[in-house]
């Protein structure tokens, strides 16, 4: 196999493995998936959010957010309540158990990436984005709906995202 091809495949595999390791570390520390942790973090930062606000902020589908909220509510980490000013609105708030769960979890992989990426020069950021988008095309992954959460998700193509 060509040396550049081998190097490219190894780099892709390292990225996939980093996402796997990060998801495993989060699960071991908190019993949460990266997607669940992101939802808790968003609600913690905002104080109160609607499901639609979470979907928009996390760039996840409404259906995925609803499934995430169902699981997090079942675990007692957050709760949904009717809006105080608009009873049609359903607000999501963190419970004390949710705050406690957040306190013991490691950073999300994308948070570490973002901190380092933002320190790069503009040209280098643009170059990396272009290269990564090209890799997605080469892997026929450019049309796959994805959020900016580095989570391994379900391994079955037809299955909904893991929540």
Evaluate whether 92 touches 48 at the Cβ level (below 8 Å): yes
DSSP letter for each residue of 12-50? HHHHHHHHHHHHHHHHHHHS--HHHHHHHHHHHHHSEEE
The Cα–Cα gap between 127 and 48 comes to 37
Q: Provide the Cα torsion 98, 102, 108, 112; round to 10°.
A: 150
Its pTM surpasses 0.95: no
Q: Is the pLDDT of residue 160 over 70?
A: no
The model's pLDDT over 24-66, given as tens digits with 9 standing for 90+, comes to 888 888 888 888 988 999 999 988 888 889 999 888 888 889 9
Tell me the mean pLDDT in the region 145-151. 70
Chain centroid offset of residue 65 CA: 11
Kindly list the domain boundaries of the chain, sorted by start residue.
3-106, 107-144
CATH of domain 3-106: 1.10.10.10
Who's near 55: CB < 8 A, 6+ residues apart?
A: 61, 62, 64, 65
Structure tokens at 98: 């949710």
Q: Return the SS3 of 97.
A: helix
As beta bridge partners, residue 48 has: 93
């Amino acid at each position: 196999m060509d040396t550049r091809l081998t190097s490219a495949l190894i780099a892709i595999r390292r990225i996939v493995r980093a996402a796997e390791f990060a998801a495993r570390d989060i699960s071991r520390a908190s019993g949460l998936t990266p997607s669940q942790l992101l939802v808790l973090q968003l609600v913690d930062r905002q104080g109160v959010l609607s499901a639609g606000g979470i979907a928009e902020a996390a760039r996840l589908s409404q259906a995925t957010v609803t499934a995430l909220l169902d699981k997090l509510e079942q675990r007692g980490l957050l709760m949904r309540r009717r809006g105080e000013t608009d009873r049609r609105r359903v607000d999501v708030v963190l419970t004390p158990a949710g705050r406690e769960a957040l306190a013991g979890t490691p950073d999300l992989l994308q948070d570490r990436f973002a901190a380092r990426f933002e320190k790069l020069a503009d040209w280098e950021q643009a170059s990396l984005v272009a290269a990564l988008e090209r890799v997605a095309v080469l892997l026929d992954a450019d049309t796959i709906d994805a959020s900016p959460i580095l989570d391994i998700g379900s391994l079955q193509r037809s299955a909904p995202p893991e929540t």
